Structure 1
Amino acid sequence: MENVVSIPSVQEDRPSLNIHGVKHTYMKPRITAFIPAHNEEKSIRDCLAGLGDQTLPKDVELDVIVIADNCTDRTEEVALAAGEEFNLNLKVLTTVNNKQRKVGALNAAWKSIYGDPLDLYDKKPSVYEEFYKTSVKAVLGMDADSRLAPDALTQLWEGLMSARNIGGVMAKYTMRMPKKKSLISKDDVHYEEMIASGQYGGPITRWWTHQQKQDMASWLLDLQYRGGSTYVLGGQATLFRPEALQDIIEENKLDGPWQDESDVEDMLLTWQIQKRWKTLISPKARCFVDSMRSYHTFRQQRNKWQGGTVELLTNSDIGVKSKHRSKIWRSQIKTFIDLMIRLLFLSLLTVSIATDQFFWSWIWLTPIILASVLNTILALKTPMHRPIDVILAGLLISPEMYMWVNFVTFSHVWLGKLSAHKKDGWAIQYSAERGATRSKLAEGLVGIAAAAGVLVYLAFHYRDFLTSTPVQEAVYPYLDTGWVILTALTIYTSLLMAYQIWTLRGRHTA
């Protein structure tokens, strides 16, 4: 029996443990890692290398289960070789015709330890299986393209074991910054292979990665300021207490903890855990994850995340709510207000200039200064930031561009709620990452530029009419009301920015 040791002594008055010939034995406590991997031959070795780097808690062992999910590449072969290379106690499960993708893969790993409630034959676990199941004190859920920083597993373990009522602890995520593409000579015979690996990128890719890092940093800092409780235990790297996962199965009559009722299966799982357990973010454990390298793949990923979040907030049939529900609604409302402020400002500015009724006020610099200060602080607190990132953040160039991309996603998802057809967020994201679909960014920018050109032409062509007294008098009441509404919204968001700046004075790190 592997990793089973004898107990040195047993008190005479204690009943003798004798189950099917196994006497006076126990199995060391262990962490079991579940790593679903769909065609991840390029990234799985790095993920496992990170686990090989870990210093485990005292007397705790680590087992790794890689789930090769409907793979058509060498994921299984590479994983087994990496397990030997990094001296990991690793096995590979292979799924066949798994229709639930990541959810099905994770549940397959769970059932390999805890059994399948849907098994018609009601198989009895062996003595070894019973001991093993009892020995698993924590389940680590990881993505195959993530890598834990050294000591992260111990830090997650310490967080999980710090109190009996903690059901899950998530690592702090940081997007890997691609190396400079210019570092590779185009004469290098491995140039194409190195570029395809995703480890290198040009200026736009590196800039885009930092925006995602800063967005994640802002979210992590906010969670830590509010006590560390999180409404989503991210699938990239979270340590779960098995009893918390088992509670979900029993309460909801499931065959595994993870469900595919939502495109954000990790958020749904977290909300269910929160019914009885705490869900926290680790203040120390770090996990490095891949960013979305292009606008198109980013949009599809965020469409899935935003769509799943909106579905959880609005679909009463899912039957689960979070104590953070009001916080998530406030975030959605804030995004809507930010969008309305910009659309209203652009509309009022256009009409005011066209009708020669625009008047400048220096007080308008207040929200701009606050936004500049806020984004500069966030850029400085973002791990591995570059000077150019801080400069572009302070000038509000990067934050504004990134925000408009998120506005497109926000609008797309909420308008999609009016559609009768539910889209498969996972399938759309996979297609984008494979390059099976393409972005319409170029067409959109051309359309916006054309519309702006037409408006400028019309404003100059009909300037005498637009600046005439009758037109000005007719338009003025609407302009006046619009500026009042815009002022009120701007004051509200300025107060929120000032509050956020105040919260960032702490020593929390992203």
Structure 2
Amino acid sequence: MHSPQEFDRNAGGHSTALTPAGDAPGFADDFSAVLEGTSGHRSTIGCVIPAYNEEESIAGVLTSLLAQTRVPDVIHVVVNNSTDKTVKIASEFAGPHEITTELGEQFTEVFVHDIGKNPDKKVGALNYGYSLVEGYDYLLGVDGDTIGDPRAVEYLETEAVSDSRIGGISAIYSIDTAPIKGAIAKFLIAGQRTQFAAFNLQNLLRGRNMAVLGGQFSIFSTTALRDVMVANRQRTPWVRDSEVEDSLLSLQIKSAGYLTKISPYARADVGGMTTIRAYDAQQVKWTFGAIELMWPGQRGDTKGQPFHPNLRLRWFENFGMLTNLLVRIGFVTLLAGSLSIGAFVFSPWWLLPPLAAVLLNVRIAMTMKDRTTRDILFAALVVPAEIFMWIRLSHFLRSWFRFLSRKKVDNWAMQAQAERGSGSAHWMPLVMLIVVLVGLAVAWNLLTPAIQSAILWIGWPVLGVVTVTQTVLMVFKLLRRYQGFKV
């Protein structure tokens, strides 16, 4: 790595005054008690911001950190592989800051490090930042496009300090809809907000045990990070041979005997993907990396696969996506076959599964703290959620195909390329779907009427059993108490 270029330009201090959070109904008494009477710092926090071409967002990220009720003791912006004005813009915040908040006088200093070309990309930037803050009690990891709510750091620190068993805590993530323009972008953001909401709610209802401490806005105990390095014989907390560095580190923290939690109060808005190309590349990278973690024998440091607590959830998610895919393909195929021979008979019972899905989606949307009319409509109208599900299924298929083909691909580079507007791989699942459907249609027409009838006679009952099972599970989720959580 190149030597860091630090920019020591002073930025004026400022003050913030915020209203206390107050009591939130439905939350566990023990956590509410932790927040009572907190009036000062009880630990040291070093913030690390890995930044890659973040000229449009880095100023907002730094402004939000300096406006926190609990300001990090030091902030290191680690710029890597960037070709835009990230360094120039971030340098305007460099230097010491004296800040007055409701918690009292606070001091922090912002450093900007340009490490130039970095083959390890975000992982390299994170490890570089860790070397600068390893003497602090906690490392706060913040992505270069993530804006934390004013009390986010305060809430994360308060809970982390309250329990030495906690190795890391993640904020609740969503996406700010205000700057989003264009119909496609708004549709994709609505889908991603729903996806985040369901994921956050799932983890909150699992005793607030977080399977993935997302690097977007999470706090880590440096003691836990050191223990992870010793247990796994690593020189750094993050390793470069994983597509999902945050998932792997979360798994390792859990394996080292620590708790990985999600805060019910701390919130942060992350940068969403506003094009199908970029969203596809991001999701394929995440899903591919998750498959590598959970697949037996792929990694020697994922002990107990697939029974590790953090990996069981991954298996359930992938099994659920596979079921969704088979049900949809099966329904389209059987419906077309029935219509082709005049054997289609409509039954009102078929409306129950989509009705259960809509009610579940609406209930999840209602748990969003900053829900909008678009969020409710996205959940209530069948078509938007169904289209988004097909898009997610395409990511699922591409990820598994890439994994099983053993093709060596730099998914980080492909995501960066997609975000720049290049690449066409996201169309491949649609092309393959059309080819498969055409092939099935041709094969169907070559069958005799007797064989066609036999396929329908067996296919519909099998599809019915699977669909009924799915519907029952959705009803259970629909009737489950959400304990007052807001995502």
TM over 0.5: yes
Q: Matches of 1:450 and 1:288 in 2, distance apart?
A: 39
Q: Matches of 2:234 and 2:130 in 1, distance apart?
A: 12
Q: Matches of 1:335 and 1:458 in 2, distance apart?
A: 26
Matches within 5 A, 1:45-444: 45-56=59-70, 62-83=73-94, 88-114=108-134, 133=135, 136-177=136-177, 179=178, 199-275=179-255, 276-318=257-299, 319-321=301-303, 322-438=308-424, 441=427
**Contact residue 42 and residue 161 of structure 2 kept, 8 A:** no
Deviation at 1:404?
A: 0.3
Deviation at 1:324?
A: 2.6
- Once the two structures are superposed, residues 76-124 of structure 1 have per-residue CA deviations (whole angstroms, 9 ceiling, x without a partner) of 221121245965411122213321001111111122344xxxxxxxxxx
1:497 corresponds to 2:474? yes
**Structure 1 residue matching 2:404: 3-state secondary structure:** coil
**Structure 2 residue matching 1:35: 3-state secondary structure:** strand
Q: Matches of 1:450 and 1:163 in 2, distance apart?
A: 55
Deviation at 1:450?
A: 9.4
Normalization by structure 1: what TM-score?
0.79
Please, which runs of 5 or more residues in structure 1 have no aligned partner? 1-26, 115-132, 180-198
Q: Matches of 1:354 and 1:56 in 2, distance apart?
A: 66
Deviation at 1:416?
A: 1.8
- Once the two structures are superposed, residues 411-452 of structure 1 have per-residue CA deviations (whole angstroms, 9 ceiling, x without a partner) of 1111222313221111110111122324654x8768867997
Q: Matches of 2:436 and 2:235 in 1, distance apart?
A: 54
**Structure 1 residue matching 2:126: 3-state secondary structure:** helix
RMSD of equivalent CA atoms: 2.6
- Once the two structures are superposed, residues 136-186 of structure 1 have per-residue CA deviations (whole angstroms, 9 ceiling, x without a partner) of 111101101101111110000112112110000000001121x4xxxxxxx
- Once the two structures are superposed, residues 307-361 of structure 1 have per-residue CA deviations (whole angstroms, 9 ceiling, x without a partner) of 0000101152422143232221111111101110111111111111101111222
Q: Matches of 1:481 and 1:408 in 2, distance apart?
A: 27
Deviation at 1:369?
A: 1.4
**Structure 1 residue matching 2:73: 3-state secondary structure:** strand
**Contact residue 174 and residue 383 of structure 1 kept, 8 A:** no
Residue aligning to 1:43: 57
**Contact residue 295 and residue 439 of structure 1 kept, 8 A:** no
Change (3 A) 1:446 1:92: closer
Q: Matches of 1:432 and 1:420 in 2, distance apart?
A: 22
1:30 corresponds to 2:44? yes
**Contact residue 375 and residue 396 of structure 1 kept, 8 A:** no
**Contact residue 48 and residue 86 of structure 1 kept, 8 A:** no
Q: Matches of 2:123 and 2:451 in 1, distance apart?
A: 59
**Structure 2 residue matching 1:161: 3-state secondary structure:** helix
- Once the two structures are superposed, residues 43-94 of structure 1 have per-residue CA deviations (whole angstroms, 9 ceiling, x without a partner) of 111000110110118xxx5210111113333322211212459654111222
Q: Matches of 1:445 and 1:255 in 2, distance apart?
A: 43
**Structure 1 residue matching 2:127: 3-state secondary structure:** helix
Q: Matches of 1:362 and 1:301 in 2, distance apart?
A: 39
- Bigger drift between 358-367 and 284-293 goes to 358-367
**Contact residue 48 and residue 83 of structure 1 kept, 8 A:** no
Letter in 2 for 1:105: A
Deviation at 1:252?
A: 2.1
**Contact residue 35 and residue 65 of structure 1 kept, 8 A:** yes
Q: Matches of 1:328 and 1:81 in 2, distance apart?
A: 42
- Once the two structures are superposed, residues 367-426 of structure 1 have per-residue CA deviations (whole angstroms, 9 ceiling, x without a partner) of 121111111112222343332432342221111111101111111111222313221111
Q: Matches of 2:329 and 2:113 in 1, distance apart?
A: 51
**Contact residue 32 and residue 138 of structure 1 kept, 8 A:** yes
Normalization by structure 2: what TM-score?
0.83
Q: Matches of 1:444 and 1:250 in 2, distance apart?
A: 42
Change (3 A) 1:439 1:474: closer
- Once the two structures are superposed, residues 182-209 of structure 1 have per-residue CA deviations (whole angstroms, 9 ceiling, x without a partner) of xxxxxxxxxxxxxxxxx34112211211
Identity rate, percent: 30
**Structure 2 residue matching 1:89: 3-state secondary structure:** strand
Deviation at 1:505?
A: 4.4
Letter in 2 for 1:175: I
Q: Matches of 2:143 and 2:443 in 1, distance apart?
A: 53
Q: Matches of 2:394 and 2:287 in 1, distance apart?
A: 11
